[in-house]
Amino acid sequence: MTSCAPGICSGDIDRQLASGSFRLAFPPALERAFERETADERTRMFVICGSLAIILYDITLITDYLVLSDRFTEMVVARLGIFTPALILMMVAASRFRHVHVRESLAASGGILAVSLPMTIQIFSQSSDRLIYQYGSLLVIMFSSIIQRLRFAYAALSLTVMITIQLVTTALAGIFTPETFVTNAVFFVIGGILLLLAAYFLERSERRSFLFNLRSRLLHDQLMQIARIDALTGLYNRRHLEESADALWHRAAAAPQVVTAILLDVDRFKAFNDAYGHTEGDACLRRISTIVAEAAQGRSGLAFRYGGEEMLVLLPGWDPHEARALAEDIRRALRAAAIPHPALGPERIVTASFGVAGVVAPDAPLSALIEAADTALYAAKRAGRDCIWPPSGAAVVDEAPRLAAAAV
């Protein structure tokens, strides 16, 4: 059996896990679910990492003063006047526009800006110590790839741009001989490749964890759904009736409303079972339950197998007279199905009797509603079966619980 969510089935997840694909992309429905699941957390992490980056980046003014003292003023402007406010604006934008491309583009831009500012300024420095200054760029590159964990495509783009800036600015600064420049370039390129591999495996791991978690939730939902469904009829069972009623009555505590129930019982079903056996009896109940379920779902109602051949339709907020009209629709649909019941005689068909009742929740409990509907059902049986009780125009809502409460 396959458990399905909107646009996603557990079978799709199993195929994705078994495929062994190295692509960091899911089919469209899974990709949308992945972004929905991770968007808030990744935005939050961008803000946290951005705040940490501002602190660490501005602390390195100490090294600017020690290593690039002749350009210290420019470095203060770059770090405190450009990078810090720019990254704050990026974090605000990422928090407001929670789209993957916006967030990842801003995060990548922050890293590029962090490298470009100091490396551009150091071109114009005459400090003899600026050779060691370039390695601050490596810290930024590592932070973007491993701590900030950019999506792989954005990590690849930002790494390429940052390393290019690093190599171009050091070349313009003239601090290397041709041989040492090549050595330095190889060092940064290999480091970039290793960091890119780390970014790839981090995202791959995140995506696989998402698939495992999603599959677990879908399987849990499937088991919960099975626990709520009657195996024979496919209608909801008594357990789910109690759960639904608890939730409904809890909401009604803040806003009282009429809750109506239709309780139906298949007429002379024992005679049908005795004549044709339980296999045919089960098939008969399944056909009837399909009629009831379709009628209930079309009107936002909940259909339950209440017991044996009894079925219940719960209609929150319904006018009881409208509920009676729905019961009439079900009765007519059952007659139109013309399920033969030869045990009662030639040309006889399966019919049902209906009891309709309503109470005001939360003043009256579910048990009072069921009792009232059951009383009405047996009145329909006594009235000749294949009918609905109360008759059209009669009062259906039991106001007694509300009146009693008011009297107290």
Positions marked catalytic: 309
Residue 308 tokens, joined:
């044996």
Query: What is the separation, in whole angstroms, between the first and last Cα of the chain?
Result: 54
Q: Please state the φ and ψ torsions of residue 319, each to the nearest 5 degrees.
A: -70, 130
Q: Which residues pair with 356 in a beta bridge?
A: 262
Could you tell me how far CA 59 lies from the centroid of its own chain? Answer: 41
- The answer to whether 259 and 371 are in contact (CB under 8 A) is no
Which is it for the CA torsion 203, 208, 211, 213, positive or negative?
negative
Query: Distance between CA atoms of 7 and 340, rounded to whole angstroms?
Result: 40
Around 405, how many Cα atoms within 13 Å sit in the side-chain half-sphere?
11
Q: Determine the residue type at 232.
A: L
Query: Distance between CA atoms of 291 and 306, rounded to whole angstroms?
Result: 16
